[in-house]
Amino acid sequence: MRKLFVILFIFLVPNLVFSQVDEESYVFDDSKKAKADEEKKGKFNWKRVTVGGGLGATFGDLTYFEISPTVGYYLTDQLLTGIGGTYIYYSDNVYKYKTNIFGGNIFTEYLFKDLPIMAHVETNLMNYFSWNEQQRINAIGVFVGGGLKQQLGDGRSYLAILILWDVNESKDSFYPNPIIRGGISIGL
């Protein structure tokens, strides 16, 4: 009797223990579970990083060149936040005026799922030479608006055109309302 009990114990206990294992963790492809675990741990994920920005140029009696790179991070699949910088070279041959303009911004975008629209909020700082005050000044803008986006490939890359409004507009504001902007965001 004792031998029978030992034999049953040897064969049944491993089956009982195995039956208590979570079936989802006993698969050969644990990529979904690993991805969920990584997001729970709050680890930095390079696949959520985007780079992009915008370029602008005009040449002739009025020369204008702008470069505005951005770096963003998807906090969720629809919420992107990031920082950007701006450099503008401006030259007016009629008035014999040349200047360099510098700036930066912090932004957040909400990309609506399965729709080609997006919402955008941004705080912008521009440093430029003011004709009125005859010195360099800092102008702070708070932009609110939205626009259209065109997905590119994997869903983390897109082209966008935005219409923004500076709710902090003053006599020193660098951009006049409304602000129309185009750009690209490329997921890594």
Q: Quick check: is 107 in a domain?
A: yes
**pLDDT at site 37:** 53
**pLDDT at site 35:** 56
Containing structural domain, residue 78:
49-181
Q: How far apart are CA 153 and CA 4, in angstroms?
A: 63
Cβ-contact 55, 67 below 8 angstroms: yes
**pLDDT at site 152:** 83
Q: Quick check: is 86 in a domain?
A: yes
- Report the length, in residues, of the chain: 188
**pLDDT at site 8:** 44
Please report where in the chains the tokens 């009797």 appear, as a residue. Answer: 1
Q: Quick check: is 8 in a domain?
A: no
Q: Quick check: is 165 in a domain?
A: yes
Q: Quick check: is 188 in a domain?
A: no
Q: How far apart are CA 182 and CA 52, in angstroms?
A: 11
**pLDDT at site 164:** 92
Q: Quick check: is 28 in a domain?
A: no
**pLDDT at site 40:** 55
Supply the DSSP string of 80-149, one letter for each residue. Answer: EEEEEEEEEEEEETTTTEEEEEEEEEEEEEEE-TTSSEEEEEEEEEEEEEETTTTEEEEEEEEEEEEEEE
Q: How many domains does the chain have?
A: 1
Q: Quick check: is 25 in a domain?
A: no
Q: Quick check: is 142 in a domain?
A: yes
pLDDT by residue, tens only, the chain of 188 residues: 555 444 544 544 444 444 444 444 444 444 555 555 555 566 888 888 999 888 888 888 888 899 999 999 999 888 999 999 999 998 888 888 888 899 999 999 998 888 899 999 999 999 988 777 788 888 899 999 999 988 887 667 888 899 999 998 888 787 888 888 888 888 87
Q: How far apart are CA 119 and CA 15, in angstroms?
A: 54
